[in-house]
Chain A
């Protein structure tokens, strides 16, 4: 199964729509509730990041029997130093983002904690791609 969602940079009213749809699909597929929660928390953090930092983005969701792969591709400023961005507390978020309850430098570390596999690639001035992979078999987390 393949699905795609568009994300609009700066549109906080809609941030979370795609994550919500993914959650509904996973519930229909009877995936373990703990795995659903880790998936949607990681995806939502990633979705908020696109809204907070990029101009636009697309989420590609691919389900197969054993896993879901969620790929978020954005057009935006990119991340200069991914290791630094992964550091808890490091943030470049605007005051608007902070007013929404985010921007404390916790998003990327929390995505890593929740995802079974997390891949981030970025090109400054072009954009960032985040790939979250979640397996449906119960993991230790």
Chain B
């Protein structure tokens, strides 16, 4: 699935990474605990989270995650956006809960890691 399709399914707002909307993603992981994200071995994972701070972006950077959905209407700060841009990430804001975000993407064919 392309990031563009994810944006449409979630009615999400693209904060940065407009140039990478054709990027393909097939697996996702949802967590507010960055320690759990840091244990993932898979690459090219979509991260769905309700934790909006600098460490979310840093964790994605270290984990080679290139696309993050901030659910529950969480807002991305200018500092977060800047760091995400430096790392060529796609960052999306979505007003749905994490549960609904995951449900919609799962229904559309995005797979779980485990």
Binary contact track B14-36/A, C-beta < 8 Å → 1, others 0: 00000000000000000011111
Counting chain B residues whose Cβ lies within 8 A of the other chain, the interface size class is 20 to 34
Chain A, interface SS category? helix
Query: Does B73 count as interface, using CB distance less than 8 angstroms?
Result: no
Residues of A within 8 A of B56 (CB): 101
Query: Does A33 count as interface, using CB distance less than 8 angstroms?
Result: yes
- Do A102 and B34 touch (CB < 8 A)? yes
Contact with A16, one of B33, B51, B62 (Cβ below 8 angstroms)? B62
Question: How many contacting A-B pairs (Cβ < 8 A)?
Answer: 67
- Do B39 and A106 touch (CB < 8 A)? yes
Residues of A within 8 A of B64 (CB): 33, 37
- Do B58 and A20 touch (CB < 8 A)? yes
- Do B39 and A110 touch (CB < 8 A)? yes
- Do A41 and B62 touch (CB < 8 A)? yes
Most B Cβ at <10 Å: residue of A44, A104, A107, A110: A44
Contact with A44, one of B39, B51, B62 (Cβ below 8 angstroms)? B62
* Interface residues, chain B, with chain A CB atoms under 8 Å away: 32-36, 38-39, 43, 51, 53-56, 58-59, 61-64, 79
